[in-house]
Amino acid sequence: MSLKKLSLQEFNDGLLAFLNASPTPFHAVATMAARLNEAGFTLLDERQDWDCQPAGKHYVVRDGSIIAFTVGEQPLANEGWRLFGAHTDSPCLKVKPRPELLKQGVAQLGVEVYGGALLNPWFDRDLSLAGRVYIQSTTGELTSQLVDFSRSVATIPSLAIHLDREANNERKVNPQTDLPPAVLLGEEKSDLRQLLAVELGLSAGDQVLDYELCFYDRQAAAICGLKGDFISGARLDNLLSCYIGLQALLTSDSQGHAVLVCTDHEEVGSKSATGADGPFLSRVLERLAPDRVAFSKALVQSWLVSADNAHAIHPNFADRHDGNHGPKLNAGPVIKLNANQRYATSDETAARFRQLAAAENVPLQDFVVRTDLGCGSTIGPITAGRLGVKTIDVGVPQWAMHSIRETAGSLDSEMLYRITRRFFAGS
């Protein structure tokens, strides 16, 4: 494991590779697990007994969610956990269970919209398909495999402006009828399960029983801008934060009780067996405490940095922000505050976070939504509510949140990484 602080170049190169290797939450978890394995973390099975000794490094996986942690040298009840949370999912188009459609000699796949996707940018993109597939062998054994077609297999063509003269004024997207991506020309429907069997190289007799697949943009994440000021790519919300937390954990050399928790289903409210509004985190933490009293003592001394991207002020739509609270790209990570607890930040957690940032010479920005607009939310308040743990909501600023291609600054993620590394190290 490299304990050396990553340079900006190393950090951003790794970030682009992480984004490109992680088209779905399942892939993000697999990518993180591989990095944790390399660094000496061992996978724990929730069905087994655990033996977590001081200085141990472990991780636990539930589907598209992962929790990685180091066991501190000091008793847990004396210092509590330092938690960093993010989410692995992003809005996308998910394939329906019986997706095959045939219209005008064009084979298409029916999709559901997952999360609050900005739909217009999905048109005229080279799309690929990835996810997880459940396979039944000839003996009836059920196994799962990740799949990534890793090539352009579909497109959603726009309707030409000549056939819709009002397109630039009032085009709306009907998700049921306008979105099914075109995958083939011919007079037969594509058989998706058959295509998956071929793609996975299954032997005759093996059967694809079910799947969770989503379309994603084939265009790779990249540094962008005349002077490389931007990073653009899909799923910046919230894989940036997953990567920040992972690198901070791997390079912090924490002697304390550090926890990285990256959960699925945030974009649909987090209420699931694996999401932040489910029992996953509390079940894992309970098993690390020697008894119920120690668990309670640990929780009241713990704090959670919940990281999810923030809306940067958009030069063409600057009035969408409060004048004093419009974060700029590359001007530092953002503390997100909401008086109505849509964010869990308190004066205390913000003050402590400001100390950490100052020690790293990292500037911070503050976001409060316009008082006449509703406020988004994230895993921070949910986790704070479930565990009773002090929490701050932070994030790197970005444009075009929930678009198929989002834009952030090329400096902010590395700044939040440095703060998080210090946070995990306990200094």
Binding site for Zn ion (CB under 5 A): 237-238, 308
Question: Least distance from C-beta 143 to Zn ion, angstroms?
Answer: 31
With respect to Zn ion, which residue has the nearer C-beta, 127 or 240? 240
Long-range pairs of 292-297 with CB within 8 A, sequence gap ≥ 24: 293/77, 294/75, 294/76, 294/77, 297/77, 297/80
In terms of DSSP bridges, do strands 65-70 and 57-62 run parallel, antiparallel, or are they unpaired?
antiparallel
With respect to Zn ion, which residue has the nearer C-beta, 180 or 380? 380
Question: Least distance from C-beta 284 to Zn ion, angstroms?
Answer: 22
Supply the DSSP symbol for 331.
S
Question: Least distance from C-beta 32 to Zn ion, angstroms?
Answer: 17
With respect to Zn ion, which residue has the nearer C-beta, 264 or 308? 308
With respect to Zn ion, which residue has the nearer C-beta, 237 or 414? 237
- What are residue 195's phi and psi, to 5 degrees? -60, -40
SS3 386: helix
Question: Least distance from C-beta 308 to Zn ion, angstroms?
Answer: 4
Question: Least distance from C-beta 132 to Zn ion, angstroms?
Answer: 21
Cβ atoms 413, 15 nearer than 8 A: yes
With respect to Zn ion, which residue has the nearer C-beta, 238 or 252? 238
With respect to Zn ion, which residue has the nearer C-beta, 238 or 407? 238
Q: What is the C-alpha to C-alpha distance for residues 350 and 335, in angstroms, rounded to an integer?
A: 7
With respect to Zn ion, which residue has the nearer C-beta, 308 or 412? 308
Q: What is the C-alpha to C-alpha distance for residues 271 and 232, in angstroms, rounded to an integer?
A: 29
Cβ atoms 200, 372 nearer than 8 A: no
Supply the DSSP symbol for 155.
B
With respect to Zn ion, which residue has the nearer C-beta, 20 or 238? 238
For residue 197, the one-letter residue type is A
The two three-digit tokens of residue 229, written as one number:
């000021």
SS3 18: helix
Question: Least distance from C-beta 88 to Zn ion, angstroms?
Answer: 10
Question: Least distance from C-beta 90 to Zn ion, angstroms?
Answer: 8
- DSSP string covering 127-144: EEEEEEEEEE-TT--EEE
Cβ atoms 392, 350 nearer than 8 A: yes
* Cβ neighbourhood burial of 159 (10 Å; 0-12, 13-18, 19+): exposed
Question: Least distance from C-beta 416 to Zn ion, angstroms?
Answer: 14
Supply the DSSP symbol for 64.
T
The two three-digit tokens of residue 69, written as one number:
């942690």
